[in-house]
Amino acid sequence: MEIKEYLDEYTRITDEMTKRGVEKVSTASFELALAILGERAKDRRMSEIAEERKGEQAEPITPKQKTYIESLCALKMEPVPLDLSEMSKSDASALIKKLKAEK
């Protein structure tokens, strides 16, 4: 976010506080506006992290995961899933946890 956007948001926050009866010139209102601005920045960052994680979930299974699942299936004498090559990384991780839990 650009500095101008932060300043615009700060102005919107202080304007809203003034509408609600908070003194615009007081130190406490300044600190409150800054705290709200900081929380909004955290919320934006958490949204960005969530979006990044969504992208990671769509990544295909890694060769290491595939080999490990095949080994676990062989040890348990279970068939290897037919859709193994089409699995996502997160699906493969869930399957590995399930296979390891079935000791």
Q: What pLDDT digit, counting tens, does each position of 60-82 carry?
A: 889 999 999 999 999 888 888 88
State whether 18 and 33 are in the same domain: yes
Supply the range of the domain harboring residue 84: 63-101
Confidence check: pLDDT of 28 > 80: no
Is the pLDDT higher at 84 or at 22? 84
State whether 53 and 20 are in the same domain: yes
- Count the domains in the chain: 2
Q: Which helix (H) or strand (E) holds 36?
A: helix 27-57
State whether 23 and 50 are in the same domain: yes
Confidence check: pLDDT of 15 > 80: yes
Query: What pLDDT does residue 9 have?
Result: 84
State whether 10 and 53 are in the same domain: yes
CA 10 to CA 23: how far, in whole Å?
15
Q: How many CB atoms lie within 10 A of CB 33?
A: 21
State whether 39 and 71 are in the same domain: no
Max CA-CA distance within the chain? 73
